[in-house]
Structure 1
Amino acid sequence: MTHRLMTPSEVTGAWAIIPTPAKDNASDWRATNTVDLDETARVVNGLVEAGINGILSMGTLGEAATMTHGEKLDFIKALVDAAAGRVPIFVGTTCLNTRDTVTLTRQALELGADGTMLGVPMWCAPSLEVAVQFYKDVAEAVPEMNIAIYANPEAFKFEFSRSFWGQVADIPQVVTAKYIGVGNLLADLATIRGRIKLLPIDFDYYAAARMDDSIDAFWSSGAVCCPLVTTTLRDVVLNARSTGNWKEARAFQALLGPTAAPLFPNGSFKDFSTYNIALEKARMNAGGWMKAGPVRPPYHLCPEPFLEGARKSGIMWADLGRALEAEK
């Protein structure tokens, strides 16, 4: 199988970040082979047919921390087979140490994945030197594999500082990054000098796109609540950029934004991060477009009021999708 490194300019449009569909018994620690492979294939095909530009998987809500090694390999193969080369597939390969990460990254490459969505190991909070060296080592070990840096400071207990971005921008395999927030966006863009395509979350995409023309791609976990909402966001921003008229894009962002509020307990990103997997899967199941299934242990426990908010978020997103469909 031939693999090639992508360029940042090839990372464009709407990238869906998806959960790992779980069978009904997956919350039981006794369960084995918990990945719903049929639903995996259906979801990937549905996203591709809906016009999604790329797929990210096996991050936090993708339950990379709670899947067995065999389940990961089965899931990667199902993703790659279903996509059949139509869109890039990036899979999370972060493990607790560099050697296991390299092993899984090599296996993902052999199975046909286009890239890895790679966060730093999650036992000790890494120093700047440790984090940068980790990415250098994985890139050296698997030089054919594209890397999307998974830049979540709450999950990884690490500040993705300008010094960090300046150093990893020199690693050719690092082509993109799953990025949170817009407060440091312009400074980080200046630091990476066009060598990494930063992907803001869908809720920040309008604001980020207005800040800098290089922002022409984003990530969306809401895509699996209804992909039409995600592709519409992509298209209204693209149209605004080509015409110079941002009125429609601003109006659509005003409809999309309120769906985020119920997802964050007490309006707190820290509280959300504590229950990230359970909240996101509750949101996705309530959206009704896919069956994300239950949460794998030990993260299957979550306060019911928090879950209620997540379900409301998913329903609001799906309702927006139905309204868009009706307008067609």
Structure 2
Amino acid sequence: MLTKDDVRGVSAMIPTPCKEGQGGWQYEDSVDLDETARMTEQLIAAGIGSIAANGTTGECAALTLEEKLAFTRTIIEVARGRVPVFAGITTLGTKETVRQMRKFRELGVEGGFVGLPLWQTPTITNSVKFYADLAEAVPEMALMVYANPLFFKSTFPVEFWEGVGKHCPTVVTCKYVGNLMDPKNMLIDLPASMDAAPHVQFLPIDFAAPMAYDLVGDRLKGMWSTSCAMGPEPVVALQRAIDAGDKARMGEIMHDLHGLPNAIPDFKEFSKYNVQVEKIRCNAAGYIKAGPCRAPYEDLPDDWRALTVASGKAWAELCARKYR
């Protein structure tokens, strides 16, 4: 089974390419598998460290199980074991999550990318019990905790990680988001969380990775990124700078990224539009043909759309000018 030491570098949180004209609810075979194969090969060749499919911006809520299985099967076939693959398996409850984990394991998937059940506000007790139950039910599948407070109604405090450390042996990594409304504090509990669950590889978002490095130094072995779907070169370069402990290079890269147009005019509204933003800026960058957004997440205000397109194009231009 995968361990934390297998999860290093940039974890690519990928889009699910959609066939042209098939974003509507009536299309039950919407995944562009040819583009999925091309995307997977490109990202691996560019140096990403792992792949996580069907998170929020991978349109997990807009796909059927059959579409997710076909999508993940293609990724596994192309990856050929070169990088760990975590299949998105977030559902409304424990039994359905277990059922789907077993189906993905049959495909050869080694890891599940799983958020808390999407209904009741979780307590620390049932949050820990949820992952402990998954470990008992499918002990041969490693787990990535999808620790996003915006969607899972939890701040994932140190107490949660203490429980994971004691009771959830198959949890090997975590997509750690923290407080997006206050980026300066989004990693405030990272050192304590790492101490509480030493068998877990914590992955901060790419734009906060240098802050995480300041907190934990060379304990930081990776990051997660949706931006890499616009072109992975800047975030791969950032990870290499972190691996080398090169703070000057980290600063140069972050200066480049902060100079790009902001695709998110209001973080307080981001949870309403994040699927659309990621899909549209990815298409604008042109590295991957992500295709149309799927129902029901298709609406985007005109001002957001303009900023999103500008952001994607600027990212692509930066990649071509400085990182390729």
Shift of 1:325: 4.0
Q: Does 1:208 align with 2:206?
A: no
Q: Tell me which residue corresponds to 1:199.
A: 203
Distance in 1 between residues matched to 2:165 and 2:314, nearest whole Å: 38
Q: Does 1:120 align with 2:125?
A: no
Please show how residues 180-191 of structure 1 align to structure 2 within 5 Å: 180=177, 181-191=186-196
Shift of 1:174: 0.4
* Deviating 4+ runs (over 4 angstroms): none
Shift of 1:26: 2.8
1:149 alignment partner, one of 141, 145, 161:
145
Q: Tell me which residue corresponds to 1:90.
A: 86
Which secondary structure state, in structure 2, belongs to the residue aligned with residue 263 of structure 1? Answer: coil
Q: Tell me which residue corresponds to 2:238.
A: 233
TM-score under structure 1 length normalisation:
0.92
Q: Retained in 2: the 8 A contact 1:116–1:148?
A: yes
Which secondary structure state, in structure 1, belongs to the residue aligned with residue 242 of structure 2? Answer: helix
Q: Which moved more, 1:290-299 or 1:22-31?
A: 22-31
Shift of 1:278: 0.4
TM-score under structure 2 length normalisation:
0.93
Q: Does 1:293 align with 2:291?
A: yes
List per-residue Cα deviations over 1:116-138 (Å, max 9, x = no partner). 11101112222222211111111
Distance in 2 between residues matched to 1:184 and 1:26, nearest whole Å: 42
Q: Does 1:172 align with 2:176?
A: no
Distance in 2 between residues matched to 1:155 and 1:51, nearest whole Å: 29
Q: Tell me which residue corresponds to 1:63.
A: 59
Q: Tell me which residue corresponds to 2:264.
A: 264
Q: Which moved more, 1:104-113 or 1:300-309?
A: 300-309
Q: In structure 1, what residue type is equivalent to 2:247? A: W
Please show how residues 21-170 of structure 1 align to structure 2 within 5 Å: 21-170=17-166
Q: Retained in 1: the 8 A contact 2:230–2:312?
A: yes
Shift of 1:304: 1.8
Distance in 2 between residues matched to 1:205 and 1:265, nearest whole Å: 22
Please show how residues 242-257 of structure 1 align to structure 2 within 5 Å: 245-257=246-258
Distance in 2 between residues matched to 1:314 and 1:224, nearest whole Å: 10
| Identical amino acids, percent of aligned pairs | 38
Distance in 1 between residues matched to 2:121 and 2:263, nearest whole Å: 27
Shift of 1:75: 0.8
Shift of 1:27: 2.4
Q: Retained in 1: the 8 A contact 2:205–2:225?
A: yes
Shift of 1:31: 1.6
Shift of 1:19: 0.8
List per-residue Cα deviations over 1:9-39 (Å, max 9, x = no partner). 2221111110111111232221220000000
Which secondary structure state, in structure 2, belongs to the residue aligned with residue 295 of structure 1? Answer: coil
Q: Retained in 1: the 8 A contact 2:23–2:30?
A: no
Shift of 1:279: 0.7
Q: What RMSD in Å do the two structures reach over aligned CA positions? A: 1.4
Distance in 2 between residues matched to 1:130 and 1:281, nearest whole Å: 33
Q: Which moved more, 1:279-288 or 1:312-321?
A: 312-321
Q: Unmatched 5+ residue regions in structure 1?
A: none
2:4 alignment partner, one of 2, 8, 13:
8
Q: Retained in 1: the 8 A contact 2:3–2:142?
A: no
Q: Retained in 2: the 8 A contact 1:263–1:272?
A: no
Q: In structure 1, what residue type is equivalent to 2:221? A: D
The count of residues paired between Structure 1 and Structure 2 equals 314
Which secondary structure state, in structure 1, belongs to the residue aligned with residue 219 of structure 2? Answer: coil
Distance in 2 between residues matched to 1:325 and 1:130, nearest whole Å: 45
Q: Unmatched 5+ residue regions in structure 2?
A: 178-185
Q: Retained in 1: the 8 A contact 2:157–2:189?
A: no
Distance in 2 between residues matched to 1:317 and 1:189, nearest whole Å: 32
Shift of 1:7: 2.1
